[in-house]
C-alpha cells in the first residue's frame, strides 16, 4: 500500500460517496486507476465496508453508555462474546486489560431500555460477575476516522 492508497482511504472515510473521478483529481490518478486501487483495497480487506453515519438522537437513540463487564471464569468469555455479537444495542465490544474483561458501548432509546438491556442480556446469570455502567452526557469527539497517511507500518 503506497501513499496514494492511503490518501484514497482518507478521502473515502470522510465522504464514501465521492466519485472515482473526484478522488482521482485529489490524488493525481485516473478514474480507472482509482477504481482498480479501491477494488484491490476491498479484496485485501483493507477497506472493509462503506457505511452511513447516523445521528443517534435523530433516530431516537438518546442514551449512550459504556459498560465494564467482569467475568471470573475465562471459559465463559466465548458465551459472552456470542451474546454481545448478537445484540444490536451493543455497538462495540472490546476485550480489555485491568479489573474488568470487556468494555461495551451501547445505544438505547431511554434509561428503561438500558435497564432492560443490562438485566436481560448483559448481566448473564452464572457468567457475568460484575458490571459498571457510565452514562454519556455529551460527546466532544466521536470519530472512527483513521488517518492512514500519518500512520506508519
Q: If you ran DSSP here, which 8-state letter would residue 137 be given? A: S
Confidence of residue 152 (pLDDT cuts 50, 70, 90): low
Selected from 3.40.140.10, 3.30.450.40, 3.10.180.10, 1.10.10.10, the CATH number assigned to the domain covering 3-43 reads: 1.10.10.10
- Measured between alpha carbons, how far is 125 from 103 in angstroms, rounded to an integer? 18
Do residues 148 and 6 touch, judged by C-beta distance below 8 A?
Answer: yes
The mean pLDDT value of the chain amounts to 94
Selected from 3.40.120.10, 3.30.70.920, 3.40.640.10, 1.10.10.60, the CATH number assigned to the domain covering 57-135 reads: 3.30.70.920
Residues of the chain with CATH 3.30.70.920: 57-135
Instruction: Classify 142 as helix, strand or coil.
Output: coil
pLDDT at 151: 54
Distances (CA, A) of 132 to 6, 10, 25, 67: 38, 35, 49, 6
pLDDT at 53: 86
- Measured between alpha carbons, how far is 117 from 63 in angstroms, rounded to an integer? 12
- Measured between alpha carbons, how far is 70 from 77 in angstroms, rounded to an integer? 10
What does the pLDDT look like over 102-137, one tens digit per residue?
A: 999 999 999 999 999 999 999 999 999 999 999 999
Pairing of strands 102-108, 90-95: antiparallel
Amino acid at each position: 500500500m503506497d501513499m496514494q492508497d492511503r490518501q484514497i482511504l482518507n478521502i473515502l472515510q470522510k465522504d464514501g460517496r465521492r466519485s472515482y473521478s473526484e478522488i482521482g483529481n485529489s490524488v493525481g490518478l485516473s478514474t480507472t486507476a482509482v477504481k482498480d486501487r479501491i477494488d484491490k483495497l476491498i479484496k485485501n480487506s483493507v477497506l472493509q465496508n462503506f457505511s452511513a453515519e447516523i445521528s443517534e438522537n435523530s433516530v431516537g437513540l438518546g442514551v449512550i453508555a459504556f459498560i465494564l463487564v467482569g467475568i471470573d471464569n475465562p471459559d465463559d468469555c466465548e458465551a459472552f462474546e456470542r451474546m454481545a455479537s448478537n445484540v444490536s444495542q451493543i455497538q462495540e465490544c472490546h476485550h480489555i486489560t485491568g479489573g474488568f474483561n470487556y468494555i461495551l458501548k451501547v445505544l438505547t432509546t431511554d434509561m428503561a431500555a438500558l435497564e432492560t438491556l443490562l438485566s436481560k442480556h448483559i448481566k448473564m446469570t452464572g457468567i457475568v460477575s460484575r458490571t459498571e455502567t457510565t452514562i454519556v452526557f455529551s460527546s466532544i469527539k466521536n470519530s472512527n476516522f483513521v488517518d492512514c497517511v500519518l500512520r506508519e507500518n
